[in-house]
Amino acid sequence: MCGIVAAVGEIDLPLCREMLARIAHRGPDDTGETHRKDVWLGHQRLSIMDPPGGHQPLVGPDGRSCLVVNGEIYNHLHLREELGPERFTTGSDSEAALQVLLVDGPAGLTRLRGMFTLAHVDEAGSLLVARDALGVKPLYWARKDGCVLFASELRAFNPADHPLAESFPPGCCWTPRGGLVRFADAVPPRVRPARRPQERITPDQWDETLLKTVRETIVSAVEDRMMSDVGIGVFLSGGLDSAIVTAVAAEYATRHGHRRPLPTFAVGTPSSPDLLAARVVAEYLGTEHHEVVMTPVDAVAALPRAVRAIEHFDVHLVRSAVPNLLLAEYASQHVRAVLTGEGADELFAGYPDCHREPFLAPEALQARLVETVQGLHWENLQRCDRTTMAYGLEARVPFLDRDVIELALSIPPEHKMIGPGAEEKKLLRDAFTGWLPEEILRRGKLQFGHGSGAKDVLTAGLTAGLTAAGPTQTAMGDAEEETAFYALWRDEFPGVDPVRALGRSAPRAE
């Protein structure tokens, strides 16, 4: 939801407004700004909660404090009750963040459950900027002489400021006086230590209480993310993770009397495994199902757009971004927000390489999962946010709820390891037995780019025209593709340091 720009110091109003205009796609419904002394805040709004009353910047009762937010505060109703409903003047979930900061100051950030970046000016005119613990919502900053700039996307910054642009760290807040301070961790410290090796536990030894706890925690996370005053749906790839989200969301929609069946959206080549599996899930659950059938021509046209939209050049991210981008473009015509299955593989060891050397030992697998979750903001979450927000569509990630993360990483890694009678993510599959067709519950893992068919059509020639020499009929390998994607990225973001902005180095020149 939305895009924000903030500046503190020597304010250049035309520059700030130009930066905000460059991310108008993130919030096509409304725009707002405020200038308080040496602070400027700008907001592009995607109206999801309280469309008529949630204009930003939100202003406090003192008339001086104000706030802009990109994201969702899922526990806003609980916070309203805690703080007193009489304090609130809108139905916007973002107002809960404003009221918490007014009551508790920066310490109140720990009370917010959701995905967010925010910029807050208190009654004295002091700026606070913060990003959620996992980095689900993006934020970049450029620290210049006399001024610090913040924006939701790299493209907001002027080329002259590109060398200074870097990712704002998740779980941190910043003030001009106090500097950068960590207020939350992506992974709770108490679940980080690797578990001591123990005898492997087979599926028949799992306690039903464990399965029930896993199921109820995930159900709660999905239901929290169904809040919306406008249309909401699910990206249904046909894989286990998005199918579980769909099953929970469809049950919630029925139980709460939604006027139409849950909208689901799938993408793939005509005979791709994901598209076929998604149809099975949609029919079983009775969803209002939509398909985007991707052709090689579609993929060719979308490839350069995908690189620019996700602001990244990683070959695997770009490949999966192509079908994501096409799906988001279509879905944005029907709903304003979607749920996705992002994060389940990272928490429940769904990737094949988690079960190969050197991660065969439980303590090594645990360390791998923790490290992967901590790094999601650099890659998968960036793709997830950008492909959807490119069309003013908000993506929500229930598997990355704080309670789900804490539970999943507290489960002994032995429970997640492949062994006799146990496929990858068997714990998750068994927890949702009866919720989905058996063929979906036991379907093997396919990366989105493979399952959707995007990998095949890309390999078949989608890199044609990306090289300096022009179109080529020669299939390109991963390294060559990434080099081509990097050239597109560099043209779009000249001067940006990929290490500071993306957490990775540029491809090596051969």
List the binding residues for L-glutamine: 93
Binding site residues, as ranges? 93, 267
Sequence-distant (6+) residues with CB within 8 A of 252 are 222, 223, 226
Mode of pairing for the β-strands spanning 288-293 and 263-268: parallel
Closest CA to 329 of 286, 296, 294: 294
Check if 2 is active-site.
Answer: yes
- Of 2, 66, 147, 173, the active-site residue reads 2
Which residue's entry shows tokens 């001009």?
A: 176
CA distance 246 to 249: 5
**List of long-range contacts for 359-367, beta carbons under 8 Å, 24+ apart:** 360/417, 361/197, 362/194, 362/195, 362/197, 362/198, 362/412, 362/413, 362/414, 362/417, 363/194, 363/195, 363/196, 363/197, 363/413, 364/194, 365/413, 365/416, 365/417, 366/194, 366/195, 366/409, 366/413, 367/194
User: Which amino acid is residue 15, in one-letter code?
Assistant: L
Amino acid letter, residue 414? E
The CB density around residue 327, as the number of other CB atoms within 10 Å, is 27
Residue pair 132/115 in contact (Cβ under 8 Å)? The answer is yes
- CA dist 375 → 153, 169, 197, 343 (Å): 18, 11, 25, 11
Separation of alpha carbons 9 and 177, rounded Å: 12
Q: How many CA atoms lie within 13 A of 407 on its CB side?
A: 21
Find tokens 């007193």 and name the residue: 84
Binding-site members for ATP are 267
**What are the φ/ψ torsions at residue 41 (nearest 5 degrees)?**
-125, 135
Structure tokens belonging to residue 81: 């009750």
Beta strand segments in 225-273, E: 232-235, 263-268
Catalytic residues: 2
